[in-house]
Structure 1
């Protein structure tokens, strides 16, 4: 459990360091084009790490039900959250998700960053939202994982 907590904290420090280093880059086309998507991915990773740290606290300290079978999840989740943080940027920029009524894909960057953090924090619900958008726009059916996750939330009352 302590190794997992150390990993999550180290991961968070590295992501924060990467965010800080993005501001020290010399201005140029690369920075202009990739700064916001990189920040979205990084904040998604921070959201995932925050979720994992909270899960460690709840499962090890509060509920006393730490289970080593979940170790892969604790190590993989922050990286999945980075991906979903980046995907949140893509969907906002494409106009498939909207932050406000104006549907401006070049809207406030803080909105992009906030949604990226939320996407990383709650990957399951963000994935369900993206799949619902894909189903409405293109008729793509939700994945079995999302469907079973929705059933589990209904069964447990979440």
Structure 2
């Protein structure tokens, strides 16, 4: 567990350094056109890392049910969250997800970053939402994993309403 905490703190440090490159204007000139996608990756990773840190203290301290079988999940989640944050950027840029039609460029950038954080924080549900968009837009059926996730949520909702 300590290794996981150190690893997640290292991710936070790396994300801070990567973000500081942008804040200090150290990105190469050819990369500036990809700045928002870069930040979406960083913010998505931040969301995933926050989620992992929360999972550590919930599973270790609150539930007292730490399980080393989840180590791979803790190692991969920040990276996957960053990728999903970047994918959120692509879907927003393509117009398949819409923030606010009348927003300025500055507030639009914040919207991209906010959605990337949410996507990184909650990868599973965000991917289900993207599959919903794909089904409506192109008729692509949801993956089996997504169908199981949706069915589980419906079962959970029925249990809570009983």
TM over 0.5: yes
Q: Distance in 1 between matches of 2:82 and 2:107?
A: 21
Asked if the contact 1:93–1:105 (Cα under 8 Å) also holds between the matched residues in 2, the reply is no
- CA RMSD of superposed structures (Å): 2.0
1:25 aligned partner: 26
Asked if the contact 2:81–2:121 (Cα under 8 Å) also holds between the matched residues in 1, the reply is yes
Q: Distance in 2 between matches of 1:104 and 1:130?
A: 25
| Displacement of 1:6 | 1.0
Query: TM-score by structure 1 length?
Result: 0.92
Instruction: Note the residue ranges of structure 2 that are not aligned, 5 or more in a row.
Output: none
Deviation track 1:2-54 (CA, whole Å, cap 9, x = no partner) reads: 110111111011011101112322673421x1111000001000000000000
Query: TM-score by structure 2 length?
Result: 0.90
1:55 aligned partner: 55
Asked if the contact 1:95–1:104 (Cα under 8 Å) also holds between the matched residues in 2, the reply is no
Asked if the contact 1:94–1:105 (Cα under 8 Å) also holds between the matched residues in 2, the reply is no
Which deviates further from its counterpart, 141-150 or 90-99? 141-150
1:68 aligned partner: 68
**Structure 2 matches for 1:65-144, cutoff 5 A?**
65-102=65-102, 108-144=108-144
Asked if the contact 2:15–2:46 (Cα under 8 Å) also holds between the matched residues in 1, the reply is yes
Instruction: Note the residue ranges of structure 1 that are not aligned, 5 or more in a row.
Output: none
